[in-house]
Chains A and B, each alone.
Chain A
Amino acid sequence: MENEKTAWERLQIVHNKNRPTVNDYIPLIFDEFYEIHGDRHFGDDGAIIGGIGRLSGIPVTIIAQVKGRNINENKKCNFAMPHPEGYRKALRLAKQAEKFHRPVICFIDTPGAFCGISAEERGQGEAIARNIMEFMTLRTPVISIVLGEAGSGGALALGVCDHLAMLENAVYSILSPRGFASILWKDPSREEEASSIMKMTAEDMIELKVAETIIEEPLGGAHNNLDKIAENIKEFLSHEISEISKKDIDELLKSRYTKFRKIGEFTE
């Protein structure tokens, strides 16, 4: 693995227009995939896709944020910024997975939840909060992988899991470095400086006990060898699902709670 890159350099790799998206990975990782649409309340959000598939023979539920690579794709997936109905679709699929005892695999790849009138009117905050709470007690294994960028509560809504993996160059943050610089220093142009202090790389996530695994990318980034990175992801998932499925569900829920319970630094 390449350990010498700065957060800023990794961000450039993540934002490379050829970086694979979940749509590239699904056919290479899963044996079959049936997409499922809608939240049953309002509509179908293009920023989050979901479905049922098979991973090395085992049925799984897949929930993923989708990035586009051209203007038409981005129009459809809203630049991977979900609306509340996207999160509610995710929750519906997770509950369905619980009913049929299927593990849930979430692919996170979003700059953040959509900020707009429609999102506020339909309860963006409530939708994210509900997912976070429900995933915490979901009685089936949940594995999440950050493919590119994971921004704010919009990412966490698919990030409450038993095992979080980061692709080697992926980043996870409270908000974008640009937003961070804008809020704290009133100067969005200081985004590179912000990225250097925010602690947002995969290694930072391991150190802060937010993530458990780093999945190695091909030299220079995932876009340089799609087959290789897909193989690495599949290998990780197959191994982790067989391990996690051996665990008692009550034990699993206890350790899921404890993982998040322990995060925080304070004195008394």
Chain B
Amino acid sequence: MVEPVVAITGLNFSFDGLPILENVDLQIEAGDFLAVLGPNGGGKSTLLKLMLGLLKADSGVIRVLGQSPGEAGGRIGYLPQYTHVSTSFPITVLDAVRMGLVQPGFRGIAGLMRSDGEMDKARKALARVDMLGHANRVLAGLSGGQKQRVFIARALVDEPELLLLDEPTASVDSTGRTSLFKLLVELNTDMTVIMVSHDVSALVSGVKSVACVNRNLHFHQAPELSGDMFKRAYGGEECCPVELVTHGHVPHRVLGLHPEDGGEDS
């Protein structure tokens, strides 16, 4: 049997005495494309940070790529939330991507970082996100969507086995969003993808499974958004699942009921 990419059992995490995640179990097989949905503050980003070892769980077991959190750093590509990066940092696009090649531990932080091999890898990653033409520009001069692509290239550059994306579509307009999702589906052919989003529009074709996180985690093998899932993830009847109204065809995001539980649950 192939070992799951992520295996979480009985995970609990609280912050300042407030429970953020309770009794979470999750198993993700290689090749999956998991969308993690839920309201802001529901614990989605926390879950990613626990997988990365940036936060320590109160109890429970987390295994990522067969290792403990924080040990597999060199095999994971991570896209942090956009807001974490300084806007005036003096760096070119190419150099920013090369940071994704830094290796774990002390041998990774030594030296002045210059090698042709690294430059080639960085250029390849930039080509993949369609940003090669901007390689020598200063990062601060790019638009929000372009920066997001650069950070995805940084996550990709070391050819990770697992891609963790925290709100990849934040600060990206709707056309950019479509091409971004297309890119992620493409990347999914080579690696397992876990994408966190507070936005149900992240539930695009290509997503293979869905986890709804709001203190608890509910895993759904099929990429369907049922009313029940929505209620669990976002809470209450008062919350309307239709987040987009267009002319013409209804956006194909609200899909059929779950056959196994009839869409309703006790």
A and B co-occur in one complex: no
> Which chain B residues have a beta carbon within 8 Å of chain A's beta carbons?
none
Show the binding face of A for B, using Cβ within 8 Å.
Answer: none
